[in-house]
Chain A
Amino acid sequence: MSVVAALLRRDLGLMFGGAGRGATLLPVLFFIAVAMLYPFAVGPAPELLARTGGGVVWIAALLASILPLDRLLARDVERGVFDQLYLRGVADELAIAVRLIAHWLSFGPPLMLAAIPAAMLLGLDAAALRTVELGLLAGTPGLAAIGLIIAALTVGLRGGAALSGLLLIPLAVPLLIFGAGALSTGGNAGIALAAAISLVLVAITPFAGGAAIRAAREN
């Protein structure tokens, strides 16, 4: 257990502390910037913004989740961190599971916080904001999991950053349909389905990511 605690502390330190801070802040700023630009593009009509704003928040969250992917695993693989952990008996699956927790913490809760000013910029009412926040709570673990799997799969590739963005978008569509769909259908069914998808993705990520890291060693 002490290994897990030490790893989690390291991963969080990398994402929140020192020079890594920018990498955590960037998706949040990007997210707010999209919410800010949208009224300029479609016009400030309040009923239009209120009707479409929730969806824009979701698209902004999805795109923001692409930003940290290229730095998520590539540097640690280059530096042989996963090799050194493996030699110490830490399974790749465990290292990836810890990284998933750290990645979600560095991106899910900050986005949920940033959704509050974004909702104000888009003129969303309290009920819509509540649906968006619940949806993000259910959906961001899934986005983090997809991102981590893709980062692990593209770890040895040159130009992996652009590719990972393209790969993430289609895989995130189910989360978007149910998470953002809850805004128009009302009720919590969509959010529950988004949470179920997230749960499945979170469950397979350590195994898929660990296998990808192992495969990258053979190159």
Chain B
Amino acid sequence: MEPASLSATDLACRRGERLLFRGLSFALQPGDSLQVAGPNGTGKSSLLRILAGLLRPWAGTVERTGEVALLDERLALDGDLPLGRALDVWRRIDGTGYDAEASAALGLDTLLDVPVRFLSTGQRKRAAILVSNARGAGLWLLDEPLNGLDAQAGSAFQRQVADYVSRGGIAVIASHQPFDVPGMRRLELADYAP
């Protein structure tokens, strides 16, 4: 994994007519993790999309080095294909990370011949986890990663993220649920509301 870094300076985000947050600054180094917490509608997802470079901040700057990965509520797989063939598309693009071990760790190995549209919410989430960062980007942005996962899969994923951070990854987790990673900082987005 190539080390990444992320720093945000004086970020502000406006959606439509509404200013969601302003004056947000932080810096993260390899091995850091940050939980972005806050009630619905405070701009957690928008912040993650800004950090990923998918959304322009209304004010402020984001400086990023290294690769970035984003897990959100969407699953970038073709619904008509069996899961295995749908994952092959990303395996060919990413090059690595889709071996049997990786899909078994997420409990996907028995689902490879099931068409993607028949997967349950939790199974879709696990496939989305694999697609989002199988390639091992140094910065992993996670938007509500526990949504849809059962208790067992949820704690397994928290261990996976903790392991990722201990290997020098940076994780930013937007969630209103508790997420357990040793040494994680916490950012209350409501504190930055105008």
**Nearest B residue (CB) for A81:** B76
A7 sits at the interface (CB 8 A): yes
Are A79 and B77 in contact, CB atoms less than 8 angstroms apart?
Answer: yes
**Nearest A residue (CB) for B135:** A88
Which of B55, B70, B78 touches A218 (beta carbons < 8 Å)?
A: B55
- Separation in Å of the B66 CB from the closest CB of chain A? 11
CB interface residues, A 50-106, toward B, < 8 Å = 78-81, 83-90
Are A6 and B74 in contact, CB atoms less than 8 angstroms apart?
Answer: no
A19 sits at the interface (CB 8 A): yes
Could you give, for residues 61-75 of chain B, a 1 whenever the CB lies within 8 Å of some chain A CB and a 0 otherwise?
Answer: 000000111101011
Which of A9, A14, A88, A217 touches B78 (beta carbons < 8 Å)?
A: A14
Are A86 and B54 in contact, CB atoms less than 8 angstroms apart?
Answer: yes
Interchain CA distance A85-B131 in the complex, whole Å: 11
Are B135 and A78 in contact, CB atoms less than 8 angstroms apart?
Answer: no
- Separation in Å of the A11 CB from the closest CB of chain B? 10
Could you give, for residues 1-44 of chain A, a 1 whenever the CB lies within 8 Å of some chain B CB and a 0 otherwise?
Answer: 01101110110011000111000000000000000000000000
Are A217 and B92 in contact, CB atoms less than 8 angstroms apart?
Answer: no
Are A87 and B76 in contact, CB atoms less than 8 angstroms apart?
Answer: no
CB interface residues, B 116-159, toward A, < 8 Å = 131-132, 135, 137
Contacts of B76 in A (CB 8 A): 79-81, 83-84
Could you give, for residues 82-122 of chain B, a 1 whenever the CB lies within 8 Å of some chain A CB and a 0 otherwise?
Answer: 00000001101111000000000000000000000000000
B181 sits at the interface (CB 8 A): no
* Given the contacts A7-B93, A87-B69, A79 and B74 also touching, CB distance less than 8 Å: yes
Interchain CA distance A153-B4 in the complex, whole Å: 34
Are A20 and B131 in contact, CB atoms less than 8 angstroms apart?
Answer: no
Which of A19, A78, A90, A217 touches B80 (beta carbons < 8 Å)?
A: A19
Contacts of B81 in A (CB 8 A): 13, 18
B52 sits at the interface (CB 8 A): yes
Which of A3, A20, A79, A83 touches B93 (beta carbons < 8 Å)?
A: A3
Interchain CA distance A68-B121 in the complex, whole Å: 29
Are B89 and A6 in contact, CB atoms less than 8 angstroms apart?
Answer: yes
Interchain CA distance A81-B128 in the complex, whole Å: 11
* Given the contacts A20-B80, A78-B74, A80-B76, A2 and B92 also touching, CB distance less than 8 Å: yes
Interchain Cβ contacts under 8 Å between A and B, 6 examples:
A2-B95, A18-B81, A80-B76, A83-B54, A84-B90, A84-B131
Residues in B lying within 8 Å of A, measured CB to CB: 49, 52-56, 67-70, 72, 74-78, 80-81, 89-90, 92-95, 131-132, 135, 137
For the complex of A and B, list the 3 residue pairs with the smallest distance between their C-beta atoms, beginning with the closest.
A6-B92, A80-B74, A19-B80
